Chains A and B, each alone.
Chain A
Amino acid sequence: MRANTTRGVAEPGAETTAPPAGAPGASGAGPTQAAAGGPAGSFGGVLGALLANARDLTYQCMRCGFCLPACPTYRETLLETEGPRGRIQLVRAAAEGRIGLLEIAAHLDLCIGCRACETACPAGVQYGAILEQVRPAIEERAPRRPVERWARTLGIGVVLGHPAGIRWARWGLWLYQRSGLAALVRATGLLRRLAPAMARLEEVLPRQPAPWVRTATHRPAGGAGAPRVAASPGGGVGRRRVAFFEGCVQSAALFEVNRAAVRVLRAAGFEVVVPQGQGCCGAVHAHAGQYERALEQARRNIAVFERVDADYVVNIAGGCGAAMKEYPEWFERERAARAAAAGGHGSPANGAAADGVPAAGGDGWVERARRLAARVRDFSELLADHPLPPMGPVDATVTYQDSCHLRNVQKIVSEPRRLLQRVPGLRYVELPGADRCCGAGGIYNLTQPAMSARVLEEKMEQVRATGASILAVANTPCHLQLLVGARSSGLAREGLKVRHIAEILDEALAKGPKGG
């Protein structure tokens, strides 16, 4: 040990593997300059460039640890490797070639992706962007069992990757429930043995309406037909048209919630159109490291909603809304990575791409994504302060579990609460730790059932302590996860209902004004 260890000087204890910073604003060392033998060096092309971007983003982390109390998996394990700071430093170590990229895969897989660490981070580290740019490289190399590979391809690629897949899922689910197959499966306990996490979900699925029932009448783009519903007595707000985003799992498994949301939007005086051809938002693909597929979903949705003349694109799932609001970043990253891979000194890759830089391929997707993102609104964001017709009383104690992506990515915290509190008769109680993830995390409850269940169990204890009879939600995976939680904790038997905010409002509006 030398005594005079000083910062930035090559001595024991001093960090020296960091690549030199480039010119101000330049995105560090390109993939070709990465540490020899490091994975960043062994990945060529776009994957390598994305990895280099992720590495550069890790330098913003000052390792203060403020993210740790916010992280559900750190709180459960108290392991540095299962917290945001550890994951960021492990990504850095792998990208600098100090450890292998696959050595960190399990730790990244255990991350629920709730992004609470971003809200807690003083230094503004873009944890989500780090994760989404590392995962494609890991996905490329990760050895997976054939059955797992097949399940991922079928589930994420085929079903969630195409609007037709989502339609088939609706038919399949309806047939499954109607044909007696569901009863058979439950009676034999087959699914419980094969895929217990899947079985828990299957047991709480609401009874599906017939697949030919539509959310709303589709109106062709630009068609300015007469509204089907009389404008509600509003507070002098001009009549607005909104395009409704249906979601994939949402429209396949929680279809009635979509219908309730559309009824509420119409009651609020909006003209609602549901464009055909929309698909999954792509969040699942982005989280799984399938960035090409994620972009495919984004392009489809951008194109579909571009054709609709609507003031807003409304969704009722915090995760989908977050993804759509982040579409511009997805395309900016991809554009910069392609430029870097092509050997150009690409513009900074992390959200700072200058406008007017011709994108490789010149497709203008960044700009188109920005135009869509500017119109995207969450249901409660749109309605929190919007005039509503008189509502009938809902005699219930209601608590609300934040959607992590609504809260931590979209930064929408007070709106859902304010919206609920407008319902007459409803007694709102704040859920302690509502800002903490419920463990749903998109498909996390299927990929990491054990950790998901641990986080859920704690959540349900908190719900029990509120004494609420209704648990309000604002996101699809949370909705399903908390249905599972209500059942497994026994709270469902005691009368706890898990309901989307839209359903609660729909019920209050259906009752109409008191004595009216």
Chain B
Amino acid sequence: MAAGEVWLRELEAIGGPGDVVVRPGDLAAYGYDATPGYRGVPDAVVFVRSTEQVQEVVRLARRHRLPVIARGSGTNLSGGTVPVSGGIVVAFARMNRILEIDEANLTVTVEPGVLTAQIHQAVEERGLFYPPDPGSMAISTIGGNVAENAGGLRGLKYGVTGDYVMGLDAVLASGELVRTGGKNVKDVAGYDLTSLFVGSEGTLGIVTRVTLKLLPLPEYRRVAVATFGAVEAAARAVSRIIAARIVPATLEFLDRGTIGAVEDYAHVGLPTGVEAMLLMAQDGPQPVVDRDVERMAVLCREEGALDVQVAASPQEGDRLMAARRFALSALARRRPTTILEDATVPRSRLAEMVRAIQRAARRHEVEICTFGHAGDGNLHPTCLTDERDPAEMERVEAAFEEIFAAAVDLGGTITGEHGVGLSKRSYLGWKLGETGLGVLRAVKQALDPEGILNPGKVVPETTRRRQVVRSA
């Protein structure tokens, strides 16, 4: 195709030597992310190293009407970086400098391709703290974290990525650059454009620079673990902890299936016959931390915990946290396909949500284990299946549909931290309603009238009809 060759030549003129991938055999490696069941093939991949290059690529894409898909490390879990309509993948892996750590203003300014763990390392060396810690942080990029508004284990106390983005640069579909926010703690000049781009999954603009808020590094940390004979007891303990005005740094939940898988895999000595487990951590000044952890232990015992262990040392704390660290590994080994979802409810409805998940799994005869961030109601129902079995995959889909419906009915949401991408689009209307979707479409239309930025993602064309499920 002669036309195709024209844009390709233009693209190769934009990217440096070795920065453009066009061989079909290589493009296959850029057709997926970490979401099971989705695949595409891009027409080209370009590794960008500057904002100007991104602008040029977007202008080129606009001239030739090609989709543009921004990509960090491709660890996202809702299909957001799968190039389902082909096009140009803009890869940020090589645009990965930490530009500035501003200790006077407590900010760090970075390029999108920096790994989140590298930010942690760089700021902690100076006694500073960037709290968001998604499970993928060892490899996920900050650009991806911003695009998905990623959460993590410390969300309950510290919030999520978006709570730390003070300003950003984004390339619009026109190729123009918009600069939002900055280093000002207070800044209400106009609409909150920073928040508009955070979590927009590359559909409204392509973020090329981020300024993040930092905190002082907590001086001390302590961990405790409690096991329960019933999910309700664990959920009540969570409610009691929050009601006692304790906000722990981490408050994680594992259900029986997850605990069993962890024990089979890692033999960390978890008791059997346990229905639920809570992992609690607090950080801050030592007297406060010690007091909070002791009080959480007492509250768990009052709610009938079978066993409560408080770590005596950081090493002991790490050992207790092992169960949570192994959760995904243990589950992922059971079956070929692991679908990690993130239905989320207000934390007071935690027990009801866990029960709804278990009910849906039983009804549709699929294996779903649940772990996640109990303290903020963000659960990870994780389905162990095999994508090569179409009949089972249909049951999986039906079970998740029921789970998302239950979450929405409980005042929750269809995604807490993974984003909408491809896999949740058709459920988005359940959460936002037709009016909400209308606002979404209006924003998308205003900023990307030609629909070249990550087409087919987030904004649905239609909404799934809710299946009426009789309560069992």
Residue B329, interface by CB 8 Å: yes
The answer to whether A89 and B28 touch across the interface, beta carbons within 8 angstroms, is yes
Residue A80, interface by CB 8 Å: yes
The answer to whether A15 and B38 touch across the interface, beta carbons within 8 angstroms, is yes
Number of A-B contacts (CB under 8 A): 154
The answer to whether A78 and B94 touch across the interface, beta carbons within 8 angstroms, is yes
Given contacts A20-B389, A62-B337, is CB(A13)–CB(B82) below 8 Å?
A: yes
Q: Which residues of B contact A2 (CB under 8 A)?
A: 461
Question: What is the 8 Å Cβ interface bit string for chain A, positions 113-154, against chain B (1 contact, 0 not)?
Answer: 000000000111000000000000000000000000000000
The answer to whether A124 and B40 touch across the interface, beta carbons within 8 angstroms, is no
The answer to whether B25 and A66 touch across the interface, beta carbons within 8 angstroms, is no
Determine the residue in chain B with the shortest Cβ distance to A62.
Answer: B338
Question: What is the 8 Å Cβ interface bit string for chain B, positions 325-343, against chain A (1 contact, 0 not)?
Answer: 0001100110011110000
Residue A65, interface by CB 8 Å: yes
Shortest CB distance A443–B (Å): 25
CA distance A28 to B396 in the complex (A): 20
Please tell me which one of the listed residues B24, B82, B393, B455 contacts residue A8 in the complex, with CB atoms under 8 A apart: B393
Residue B64, interface by CB 8 Å: no
Please tell me which one of the listed residues A8, A18, A104, A122 contacts residue B397 in the complex, with CB atoms under 8 A apart: A8
CA distance A104 to B26 in the complex (A): 8
Residue A64, interface by CB 8 Å: yes
A selection of 27 A-B contacts at a CB cut-off of 8 Å is A3-B425, A3-B426, A5-B79, A5-B422, A6-B426, A7-B339, A7-B387, A7-B397, A9-B393, A12-B85, A20-B388, A21-B336, A21-B388, A59-B337, A59-B387, A62-B34, A62-B332, A63-B32, A63-B35, A64-B136, A65-B75, A78-B94, A90-B29, A99-B24, A122-B328, A123-B338, A124-B332
Residue B444, interface by CB 8 Å: no
The answer to whether B28 and A20 touch across the interface, beta carbons within 8 angstroms, is no
Residue B394, interface by CB 8 Å: yes
**Residue of A8, A21, A78, A122 ringed by the most chain B CB atoms within 10 A:** A8
Please tell me which one of the listed residues B25, B39, B138, B460 contacts residue A99 in the complex, with CB atoms under 8 A apart: B25
Shortest CB distance A245–B (Å): 31
CA distance A103 to B29 in the complex (A): 12
Question: What is the 8 Å Cβ interface bit string for chain B, positions 373-400, against chain A (1 contact, 0 not)?
Answer: 0000000000000111110011011000
The answer to whether B390 and A80 touch across the interface, beta carbons within 8 angstroms, is no
Please tell me which one of the listed residues A4, A20, A81, A86 contacts residue B464 in the complex, with CB atoms under 8 A apart: A4
Q: How many interface residues does A have (CB within 8 Å)? A: 44
The answer to whether A63 and B33 touch across the interface, beta carbons within 8 angstroms, is yes
CA distance A64 to B333 in the complex (A): 13
Within 8 A of A (CB), among B69-115: 73-75, 79, 82, 84-85, 93-94, 96, 115
Q: Which residues of A contact B336 (CB under 8 A)?
A: 21, 59-60
Binding site for B on A (CB under 8 A): 1-9, 12-15, 18-21, 28, 59-60, 62-66, 68-69, 78-81, 86, 89-90, 93, 98-100, 103-104, 107, 122-124
**Residue of B37, B96, B390, B426 ringed by the most chain A CB atoms within 10 A:** B37
Determine the residue in chain A with the shortest Cβ distance to B326.
Answer: A122
CA distance A62 to B39 in the complex (A): 13
CA distance A14 to B426 in the complex (A): 15
Shortest CB distance B264–A (Å): 12
Please tell me which one of the listed residues B24, B73, B423, B425 contacts residue A68 in the complex, with CB atoms under 8 A apart: B73
Within 8 A of A (CB), among B20-63: 21, 23-26, 28-30, 32-40, 47
Residue B139, interface by CB 8 Å: yes
Q: Which residues of A contact B36 (CB under 8 A)?
A: 7, 62-63
The answer to whether A7 and B393 touch across the interface, beta carbons within 8 angstroms, is yes
The answer to whether A5 and B84 touch across the interface, beta carbons within 8 angstroms, is yes
CA distance A194 to B252 in the complex (A): 60
Given contacts A63-B32, A64-B75, A65-B139, is CB(A103)–CB(B25) below 8 Å?
A: yes
The answer to whether B34 and A65 touch across the interface, beta carbons within 8 angstroms, is yes
The answer to whether A69 and B25 touch across the interface, beta carbons within 8 angstroms, is no
Please tell me which one of the listed residues B37, B85, B115, B455 contacts residue A15 in the complex, with CB atoms under 8 A apart: B37
Q: Which residues of A contact B139 (CB under 8 A)?
A: 65-66, 68-69
